[in-house]
């Protein structure tokens, strides 16, 4: 604990200098999706590899067919666990530039009327500020103790904002090197300004496009209306049948692998005090639309869904056309939880559609991706350590939350490297990531560094 205290003190003392280092990184416009910024992406990677080398990591810029990766290794005490830290150095485009109050790549520290400070720049929260919290914690440990409390690999990607095309081949080619006991992924938010969060569950996703076909051509509804099968009706009926009046999905076998939340987790979610109204009110809604009797947090974090993301058929322009369409299309996706099997869900949905196809209709299916849910065991010892470490740093204890969406890298770590991930980040919902005037709270940056110091210390205790 003496060590940790001095490390924390070092972080406090050096906050200004850490802001300067982050600012230097933020000045590099590493927009991965725009080929014009390829050289800038490389510069950001080199900056980070250089900084990690200066701390004492064995660090390298590693080539890919796209933007390079940064991989850096540092030993830990004998027998200490091996953790892999993941972040990304690339950033989103900055359009519309005219809406930025200051230059997107000219970081400024702004002081708000309430006295809080924030760092404003593209990438400040997503993800340069976040990844530097971990690097600063490592730097302070090295400065104060000469080493790190556990073995650390830092793995920084440069294509996260452009679909990560090089990620999977790189993981496969470097499986041994990158496999650790656990991954620490720093690209998520806190629950709120005072409450740190660990995301323990991420829903999976199955996408499926269906095309229902009837007549061999579009028909005039005057001549054929009443006698010809209308594929929009067929499609509407199938989609309507997918859910019952209680919001339950009716596809046979759909709930196989879905578990109920442990009672304590459910209670802790209730304790977050998020009302249905406040969650939905922001987007003009009030009443949870999912399974009756479940809170919005359950509905979005721990329950599966069947959503229609798009539908089209017939005449959709201005005015009116009395046509009976030859075909109608829907894009349907399923969010999966716990151990629901994407392949089984897809097959069950297809069967469900086939079973409802009337005479004269055929259907085409086009798959669009499928990934299982990620669910960290709630009783994992690592999870408990991180939870305690975070709770020690922040005003409120850390909460374990779910995430409604997917973070592909977490699935790939699990599938390709057999490695679970702990998602710990210090972003806030109003950070405006992907938008003009992105910011990162100074408290996120500072206490984020301190949080990682505590976590490294806790994990090193073995």
**Touching its own copies, residues 401-440 (CB under 8 A):** 403-406
Q: At its nearest, how many Å lie between its own copies and the CB of residue 99? A: 17
Query: Which residues within the stretch 228-247 sit at the binding site for its own copies (CB under 8 A)?
Result: 228-230, 232-233, 235-237, 239-241, 243
For its own copies, the binding residue among 9, 50, 369, 462 (CB under 8 A) is 369
User: CA 284, CA 280: separation in Å to the nearest integer?
Assistant: 7
Listed ranges 93-101, 125-133, 143-151, 399-407: which one lies at the site for its own copies (CB under 8 A): 399-407
Residue 257 interacts with its own copies (CB under 8 A): yes or no: no
Report if residue 62 touches its own copies, rule: CB under 8 A: no
User: Measuring CA to CA, which residue among 84, 45, 70, 192 is closest to residue 414?
Assistant: 84
- Minimum CB separation of residue 328 from its own copies in Å reads 7
Q: Tell whether residue 207 is a contact of its own copies (CB under 8 A).
A: yes
Q: Which part of the chain contacts its own copies (CB under 8 A), choosing from 167-175, 186-194, 212-220, 251-259?
A: 212-220
- Minimum distance from residue 224 beta carbon to its own copies (Å): 7
CA distance 245 to 235: 18
Structure tokens at 449: 């560094």
**Shortest Cβ distance from residue 348 to its own copies (Å)?**
18
Q: How far is the CB of 387 from its own copies (least distance, A)?
A: 23
Considering only residues 268 to 287 of the shown chain, the ones binding its own copies according to CB under 8 A are 276, 279-280, 283-287
329 touching its own copies, by CB under 8 A: yes
HSE-CB for 131 with a 13 A CA cutoff? 28
Cis peptide before 127 (omega within 30 of 0): yes
Query: 442-460 and 128-145 helices cross at what angle (nearest 10)?
Result: 50
332 to 361: interface string for its own copies, x by CB under 8 A: -x-x----------------------xxx-
Residue with Cβ nearer its own copies (91 or 296)? 296
**Residue 322 in contact with residue 226, Cβ under 8 Å?**
no
Of 226, 273, 381, 418, the one binding its own copies by CB under 8 A: 226
Give whichever of 113 and 317 is closer to its own copies, judged by the CB atom: 317
Do the bridges between strand 182-185 and strand 421-424 make them parallel or antiparallel, or are there none, so unpaired?
A: parallel
Strand partners, 59: 72
Would you say 224 or 378 has its CB closer to its own copies?
224
C-alpha 360/C-alpha 343 separation (Å) is 28
Residue with smaller CB distance to its own copies, 129 or 288? 288
The residue range among 32-40, 52-60, 203-211, 391-399 that interacts with its own copies, by the rule CB under 8 A, is 203-211
Min CB(378)–its own copies separation in Å: 20
* Of positions 165, 321, 395, 435, contacts its own copies by CB under 8 A: 321
- Our finding on whether 223 is near its own copies (CB under 8 A) is yes
Query: What does DSSP assign to residue 99?
Result: G
Instruction: State yes or no: residue 165 binds its own copies (CB under 8 A).
Output: no
Rounded CA-CA distance 163/40 in Å is: 18
Nearer to its own copies, 139 or 243 (CB): 243
Establish if 308 lies at the interface with its own copies (CB under 8 A).
yes
Instruction: Kindly state whether residue 115 participates in binding its own copies, applying the rule CB under 8 A.
Output: no
Of the candidate residues 2, 39, 216, 263, the single one contacting its own copies (CB under 8 A): 216
| Number of residues that make up the chain | 462
Residues 6+ apart with CB under 8 A from 106: 27, 121
Nearer to its own copies among residue 36 and residue 287 (C-beta): 287
CA angle 378, 381, 382 (to 5 degrees): 95
Among 182, 251, 328, 458, binds its own copies (CB under 8 A): 328
> How far apart, in whole angstroms, are the C-alpha atoms of residue 89 and residue 124?
10
What is each CA distance from 9 to 51, 129, 330, 447, in whole angstroms? 21, 20, 57, 12
Please tell me the distance from the alpha carbon of residue 419 to that of residue 82, in angstroms, as a whole number: 11
Q: What is the CA radius of gyration of the chain?
A: 25
Give the pairing type, strands 204-213 and 421-424: unpaired
Q: Compare residues 304 and 448 and give the one whose CB is closer to its own copies.
A: 304
- In this structure, which long-range contacts are made by residues 170-174, counting pairs with CB atoms below 8 Å and at least 24 apart in sequence? 170/62, 170/64, 170/69, 171/412, 171/413, 171/416, 171/417, 172/416, 174/71
Q: CB under 8 Å to 346, separation ≥6 — which residues? A: 206, 208, 367, 370
> What is the closest distance, in whole angstroms, from the C-beta atom of residue 59 to its own copies in the complex?
33
190 belongs to the binding site for its own copies (CB under 8 A): no
Closest by CA to 409, choosing from 103, 156, 195, 209, is 156
Question: Which position among 303, 387, 439, 454 is part of the footprint of its own copies (CB under 8 A)?
Answer: 303
């Amino acid at each position: 604990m003496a060590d940790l205290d001095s490390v924390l003190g070092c972080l406090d003392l050096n906050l200004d200098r850490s802001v300067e280092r982050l600012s230097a990184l933020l000045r590099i416009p590493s927009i991965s999706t725009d080929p014009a910024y390829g050289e800038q992406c490389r510069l950001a990677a080199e900056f980070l590899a250089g900084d990690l080398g200066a701390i004492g990591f064995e660090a390298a810029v590693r080539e890919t067919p796209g933007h390079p990766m940064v991989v850096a290794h540092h030993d830990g005490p004998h027998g200490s666990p091996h953790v892999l830290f993941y972040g990304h150095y690339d950033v989103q485009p900055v359009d519309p530039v005219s809406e930025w109050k200051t230059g997107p790549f000219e970081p400024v520290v702004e002081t708000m009327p309430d006295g809080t400070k924030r760092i404003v720049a593209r990438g400040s929260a997503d993800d340069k500020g976040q990844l530097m919290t971990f690097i600063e914690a490592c730097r302070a440990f090295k400065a104060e103790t000469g080493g790190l409390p556990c073995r650390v690999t830092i793995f920084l990607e440069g294509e996260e904002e452009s679909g990560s095309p090089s990620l999977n081949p790189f993981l496969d080619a470097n499986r041994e090197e990158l496999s650790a006991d656990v991954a620490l992924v720093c690209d998520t938010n806190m629950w709120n300004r005072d409450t740190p969060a660990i995301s323990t569950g991420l829903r999976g996703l199955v996408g499926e496009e269906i095309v229902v076909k009837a007549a061999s051509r579009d028909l005039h509804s005057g001549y054929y209306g009443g006698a010809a099968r209308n594929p929009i009706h067929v499609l509407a009926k199938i989609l309507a049948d997918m859910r019952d009046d209680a919001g339950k999905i009716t596809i046979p076998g759909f709930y196989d692998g879905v578990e109920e939340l442990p009672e304590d987790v459910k209670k802790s979610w209730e304790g977050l005090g998020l009302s249905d109204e406040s969650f939905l009110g922001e987007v003009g809604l009030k009443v949870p639309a999912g399974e009756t009797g479940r809170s919005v947090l359950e509905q979005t974090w721990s329950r599966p869904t069947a959503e229609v993301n798009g539908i089209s058929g017939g005449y959709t322009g201005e005015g009116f056309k009395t046509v009976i369409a030859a075909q109608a299309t829907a894009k349907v996706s399923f969010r999966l939880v716990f151990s629901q099997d994407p392949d089984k869900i897809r097959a069950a949905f297809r069967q469900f559609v086939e079973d409802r196809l009337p005479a004269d209709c055929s259907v085409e299916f086009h798959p669009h991706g499928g990934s299982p849910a990620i669910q960290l065991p709630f009783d994992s010892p690592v999870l408990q350590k991180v939870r305690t470490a975070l709770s020690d740093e922040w005003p409120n204890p850390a909460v374990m939350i779910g995430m409604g969406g997917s973070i592909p890298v977490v699935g790939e770590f699990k599938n390709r490297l057999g490695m679970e991930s702990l998602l710990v980040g210090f972003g806030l919902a109003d950070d405006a990531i992907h938008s003009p005037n992105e910011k990162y709270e100074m408290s996120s940056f500072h206490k984020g560094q301190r949080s990682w110091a505590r976590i490294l210390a806790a994990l090193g205790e073995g």
